[in-house]
Amino acid sequence: MSIEGEEYSEIKSDPTCPACGMVIKVSDKFCGHCGVELTGEQPQVKEDVFSVLGPSLGYYFFTLVLLAIYKLTPIFPEGFEGLAIISALDVTVVIAFFIYLFHDMKPVLSFKGFSFKVALLTIVGALLGSLFISWFAPILEISISDDVFYDPYLFEDTSHPFLMATLFICVQPAIFEEIAFRGFMFSNIAKATTSIGAVYVTSFVFGIIHLSFISLLWLVPIGLAFAFLRMRYNIIWYGVIGHFTYNFGITVLEFLGWF
Amino acid sequence: MENLTELPDASLSACENCQTLNSTQQKFCTQCSFPIGGTDEERQIFRSTITSRKWLLNEAESRVRSAKTIIYVLAGIFILFGLYRGFGQDSFPDMVVNIVLAIVFLIFAAWAEKNPFGAILTAFILYLTVQVVNAFVEPSTIFSGIILKVIFIGAFIKGIRSAQEAKEYMKELDKVKAVPQS
């Protein structure tokens, strides 16, 4: 008996074509009697790729213009006040897209299959990363604070500088950047290309939206790490944990003035 | 070949499109849906569908190639502009920024060989980001070289769309066992 024989033994009666009811074979890709496709794959309604990508491009360019106004024009107030306003705007935009794309977001927010081991490894990796970057950036003769949107001085005048820095530098980006880049943008772009393609695209745009040139050197790899975690485990929580740990590490080292 | 054990008495014939052996009682090839028992007209329709898909695939691939060319052209423009800023106007930081951008575009061009859709999309986003930043830093640059900018953006959009379409056409041709050798 041929190898196919085993395949047939599992199916008691011969399979039939769902369209015309004639007998078919398991190995058939098309029904020999009516020509209908048997792979079970329904021909998809083709949607224009730009209407698929619309939400991602919309979120990206809207946020880009907001950040460009904040960073490159004097429109926003200086110091903590400006930071608070841009953060509030950014969070609002993410929440709007989050609600609009909630259908895509639901599965990646699940805690099912959450592994503390992976979370712990992510924390260790993020801590090592923040140590390395805090040491590496001054070697490039640039301060990290020039390259992200925040400077410790922004928080000097607030009642609780360290708490405020933790909220605005660590908590807010960890939640909302992850929801945006590893959440709805990733799901959205993965619809148009492969998951691995979505990993590369979202990591790069995550890097450039920070509008800081040199920091692309580490922002893109950081984005890649979180995006791979998103692809591998299909949830955003490892990215949230890693992002918080990394930013918190940088902030603590900055406040300690170690590097 | 399993057909021989399954259908010992039936006579078999090879499909003209994909050479699979089919029972002569069948009207369609079970592997590629070619109408082996159909009329000449039905066969002709099948063949011309394949021909038209191949033609569409070629068209899409040529638009993808145009977008790839644009990425190389952009890399060249950034290098030249960077050198001009560095040596002509003594602005060393600008030179570094432009040359790094050129290198990033070259990386995208190389990536486009593997994933044309992802690479062209990302290059397009980077290109627009540079334009947005320039517009804020130097509002007067918005209209400089506007014709070139429109051409680049048009080629990017067509390239992204065509990269997606080419994948669809490849899938369809693969289903009917007519993937063109390239």
Whether A190 and A224 map to the same domain: the answer is yes
What is the value of ipTM here, to two decimals?
0.85
**Collapsed DSSP state (helix, strand, coil) of residue A107:** helix
| Distance of residue B88 Cα from the nearest chain A Cα, in angstroms | 22
Regarding whether A198 and A111 lie in a shared domain, the answer is yes
Do B27 and A49 lie within an 8 Å CB cutoff?
no
* Chain B residues near residue A25 by CB distance under 8 angstroms: 2, 6, 30
**pTM, full prediction:** 0.87
My answer on whether A143 and A201 are in the same domain is yes
Task: Please tell me whether residues A25 and A150 are part of one structural domain.
Answer: no
Residue A51 inside a domain? The answer is no
A145: confidence class by pLDDT, cuts 50, 70, 90: very low
The tens digit of pLDDT for each residue in B118-143 reads: 999 999 999 999 999 999 998 988 88
Question: Mean pLDDT over residues A42-70, rounded?
Answer: 88
Rg of chain B on CA atoms, in Å: 25
Residue A52 within a domain: no
Burial A108-133 (b: 16+ CB within 10 A, else e): beeeeeeeeebbeebbebbbebbbeb
Range of the domain at A231: 57-256
- Which residues contact residue A105 at a Cβ distance below 8 angstroms, ignoring those fewer than 6 apart? A98, A179, A183, A184, A187
Domain count across chain B: 1
d(CA B67, CA A18): 43
Query: Does A33 lie in the same domain as A1?
Result: yes
Q: Provide the number of structural domains found in chain A.
A: 2
The answer to whether residue A144 sits within a structural domain is yes
Q: Which residues of chain B have pLDDT under 50?
A: 1-4, 7-9
Cβ within 8 Å, pair B161-A50: yes
pLDDT tops 90 at residue A144? no
Q: What is the pLDDT of residue A45?
A: 63
CB contact under 8 A, B111 and A31: no
- What single letter denotes the amino acid at residue B134? N
Quick check: B8 contacting A, CB < 8 Å?
Answer: no
Which residues have CB under 8 Å from B112's CB, separation 6+?
B64, B67, B68, B71, B119, B120, B123
* Whether residue A41 has pLDDT greater than 80: no
Q: Which of A50, A53, A72 sits opposite B133 (nearest CB)?
A: A72
pLDDT digits (tens, 9 = 90+) for A241-251: 999 999 999 88
pLDDT at A139: 75
Instruction: Give B 22-51 residues with CB within 8 A of chain A.
Output: 22-23, 25-33, 35
Domain holding B75, by residue range, is 61-175
Mean pLDDT of A127-153: 71
Is there a contact between A250 and A229 (Cβ–Cβ < 8 Å)? no
Given an 8 Å threshold on Cβ–Cβ distance, is A2 in contact with B27? no
Whether B118 is in a domain gets the answer yes
Please give the residue that has the higher pLDDT: either A143 or A30.
A30
How far apart, in Å, are the Cα atoms of A109 and each of A116, A175, A229?
16, 11, 13
Given this model, what pLDDT does residue A2 score? 44
Residue A151 pLDDT level (bands cut at 50, 70, 90): low
Number of C-beta neighbours around residue B68 at 10 A: 22
DSSP B28: S
Tell me how far the alpha carbon of residue B36 is from its chain's centroid.
33
Give B135: exposed, middle or buried? Use CB within 10 Å, 0-12, 13-18, 19+.
middle
Q: Is residue A185 part of a domain?
A: yes
Q: Which residues contact B101 (CB under 8 A, 6 or more apart)?
A: B78, B82, B126, B130
3-state secondary structure of A94: helix
Question: Rounded to an integer, what distance in angstroms lies between the CA atom of residue A74 and that of residue B136?
Answer: 11
In chain A, which ranges are E strands?
none
Q: pLDDT by residue (tens digit) across A182-241? A: 999 999 999 999 999 999 999 999 999 988 877 888 899 999 999 999 999 999 999 999
Cβ–Cβ < 8 Å for B101, B130: yes
> Which range is least confidently modeled, A23-32, A45-54, A139-148, B76-85?
A139-148
| One domain, residues A86 and A133 | yes
- Please list, in sequence order, all residues whose beta carbon lies within 8 angstroms of the beta carbon of residue A11, skipping any fewer than 6 positions away: A26
> A84-100, pLDDT tens digit by residue?
999 999 999 999 999 99
Specify the pLDDT at position B160: 96
Q: By C-alpha distance, which of B125, B123, B178, B18 is closest to A59?
A: B125
Substitution target from A17, A72, A73 for chain B, most B beta carbons within 10 A: A72
Q: Kindly report which listed range (A21-25, A136-140, B130-134) carries the lowest average pLDDT score.
A: A136-140
The answer to whether position B140 is within a domain reads yes
Q: Please report whether residue B1 resides in a domain.
A: no
Examine the pLDDT at A20 and tell me if it is beyond 50: yes
In a domain, B90, yes or no: yes
Q: Are residues A30 and A80 in the same domain?
A: no
Residue-by-residue DSSP string for B112-161: TTT-HHHHHHHHHHHHHHHHHHHHHH-GGGGGTTHHHHHHHHHHHHHHHH
Q: Are residues A228 and A185 in the same domain?
A: yes
Contact in structure between B21 and B9 (CB atoms under 8 Å) = no
Q: Are residues A159 and A63 in the same domain?
A: yes
Least confident of A1-5, A32-36, A114-118, B51-55: A1-5
- On whether residue B151 sits in a domain, the answer given is yes
In the structure, what pLDDT confidence band is assigned to residue A181 with cuts at 50, 70 and 90?
very high
A10 part of a folded domain: yes
CA dist A60 and B132 (Å) reads: 12
Of the candidates B170, B148, B166, the one whose C-alpha atom is nearest the C-alpha of residue B65 is B166
